[in-house]
């Protein structure tokens, strides 16, 4: 894995409009059985804001997995503008049968950008992780960073939530979803917030390397 850089964002706010949460296609594996499924839980960064579905990082991840010989379908459960509370409210129906083989959780950026209480975000994330644990679904947690102009105390408190919950639930942890992509104008849309198609290629590669390094993938 490449080292996690310290990233400072410029001031920004995520869109409050809703994106697609539709699942991607699930082609059969070579054995004729449905492939294992990775459920990606997130907001606009997962949904692929303003991009066609095939350019989102869950879609790119699915293509990369197939290229590397892994028979996984990747389900994009990202909704633009979602906070941790919003995602918690729809977690139960996302976890109806058939259950995913693995869940990736990257939620909370909009809580931070809206200045919502960190304790509230942490409680919501804890509830989401507990629901996944109760369903015996393996989980990987993915963290986010905040712009430093939100105040050092708030930023520090926010960013400490993810590693703390990863330890509490004993789950693999990727510190930052946008590693090597954030603040690079050639890899982001004109808003300077959301990755463009090229940026999502790197995000998918980073997530794939993380999953492979953590032993979360099986052929």
Catalytic residues: 44, 191, 194
Spatial neighbors of 41 by CB under 8 A, at least 6 apart, are 77, 78, 87, 91, 94, 103, 104, 105, 106, 107, 128
Instruction: Round to whole Å and give the CA distance between 104 and 62.
Output: 13
Q: Are 55 and 1 in contact (CB under 8 A)?
A: no
Peptide bond into 98 cis (omega under 30): yes
Residue 41: its H or E element: strand 36-42
Instruction: Round to whole Å and give the CA distance between 195 and 191.
Output: 9
Buried b / exposed e over 128-162, threshold 16 CB at 10 Å, is bbebbeebeeebbbbbbbbbeeeeeeebebbbebb
The residue among 121, 126, 152, 148 whose CA lies nearest residue 139 is 126
Instruction: Round to whole Å and give the CA distance between 162 and 109.
Output: 11
């Amino acid at each position: 894995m490449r080292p996690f850089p310290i990233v400072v964002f410029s001031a920004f706010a995520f869109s409050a409009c809703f994106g697609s949460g539709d699942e991607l296609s699930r082609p059969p594996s070579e054995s004729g059985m449905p492939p294992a499924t990775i459920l990606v839980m997130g907001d606009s960064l997962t949904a692929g804001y303003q991009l066609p579905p095939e350019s989102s990082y869950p879609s790119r991840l699915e293509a990369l997995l197939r290229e590397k010989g892994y028979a996984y379908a990747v389900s994009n459960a990202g909704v633009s503008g979602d906070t941790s509370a919003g995602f918690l409210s729809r977690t139960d129906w996302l976890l109806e049968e058939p259950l995913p083989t693995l869940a990736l959780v990257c939620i909370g950026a909009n809580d931070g950008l809206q200045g919502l209480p960190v304790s509230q975000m942490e409680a919501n994330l804890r509830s989401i992780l507990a629901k996944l644990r109760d369903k015996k679904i393996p989980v990987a947690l993915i963290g986010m960073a905040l712009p430093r102009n939100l105040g050092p105390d708030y930023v520090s408190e926010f960013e400490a939530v993810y590693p703390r919950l990863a330890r509490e639930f004993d789950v693999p942890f990727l510190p930052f979803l946008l590693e090597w992509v954030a603040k690079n104008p050639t890899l982001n849309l004109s808003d300077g917030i959301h990755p463009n198609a090229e940026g999502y290629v790197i995000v998918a590669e980073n997530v794939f390397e993380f999953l492979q390094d953590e032993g979360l993938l099986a052929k």
